[in-house]
Amino acid sequence: MYYMIKAQEAFVLFIVNNIFCFIILFIILFACKKIIRHDTALRVFRHSIEVLLIMITLDSLYLACAFGVIKNATLEVAYAFKSLYFIFGLITGYLWFVFLEVILKSKISVYKPYILLSSVVAIIGIVLVIINRFYPIIFRIYEYEEGYMYERRIPGFIFYYIFVYAYAFVSCARCHIYARKKENYIESHKYLMFGFIALIPAAFGILQLVLQQIPFAIPSMTFSVFLIGIYTANDQISTDYLTELLNRRQILLNIEKTIKGKIEDTYVVFMLDLNNFKTINDVYGHLEGDNALKYTSEALTIVSSYQNHKMVVGRFGGDEFIIASHVDSVDDIKKIVEDINIELDNQRRKHDASYKLEACVGYAIYEEKYESVKDFVEAADLMLYSFKKTKGRIR
Per the domain annotation, does 210 fall within a domain? yes
Q: Sorting pLDDT into bands at 50, 70 and 90, what band is 14? A: confident
Which letter, b or e, does each residue of 304-339 get, where b requires 16 or more Cβ atoms within 10 Å of its Cβ?
Answer: beebeeebbbbbbeebbbbbbbbbeeeebbeebbeb
Residue 144: strand, helix, or coil: strand
- The verdict on 185 and 330 lying in the same domain is no
- The verdict on 166 and 124 lying in the same domain is yes
For residue 98, give its domain range: 2-238
Q: Sorting pLDDT into bands at 50, 70 and 90, what band is 395? A: very low
Q: CA–CA separation, 103 vs 110, rounded Å?
A: 11
Q: CA–CA separation, 340 vs 338, rounded Å?
A: 5
Q: Which of 219, 238, 257 is the last residue of a domain?
A: 238
pLDDT score of 8 more than 80: no
- The verdict on 189 and 283 lying in the same domain is no
Its pTM stands at 0.69
Q: What is the pLDDT of residues 339-371, one digit of tens each?
A: 998 999 999 888 888 888 889 999 999 988 888
- How much of the chain, in percent, has pLDDT values that exceed 90? 31
pLDDT score of 394 more than 70: no
Per the domain annotation, does 94 fall within a domain? yes
pLDDT score of 91 more than 90: yes
Specify the length of the chain in residues.
Answer: 395
Per the domain annotation, does 44 fall within a domain? yes
Instruction: Say what the pLDDT of residue 125 is.
Output: 93
pLDDT score of 55 more than 50: yes
> Residue 72 sits in a domain of what CATH number?
1.20.1070
pLDDT score of 379 more than 50: yes
Q: What is the pLDDT of residues 187-204, one digit of tens each?
A: 777 888 898 998 898 888
> Residue 256 sits in a domain of what CATH number?
3.30.70.270
Q: What is the pLDDT of residues 305-320, one digit of tens each?
A: 877 677 889 988 889 9
pLDDT score of 6 more than 70: no
- The verdict on 155 and 31 lying in the same domain is yes
- The verdict on 29 and 130 lying in the same domain is yes
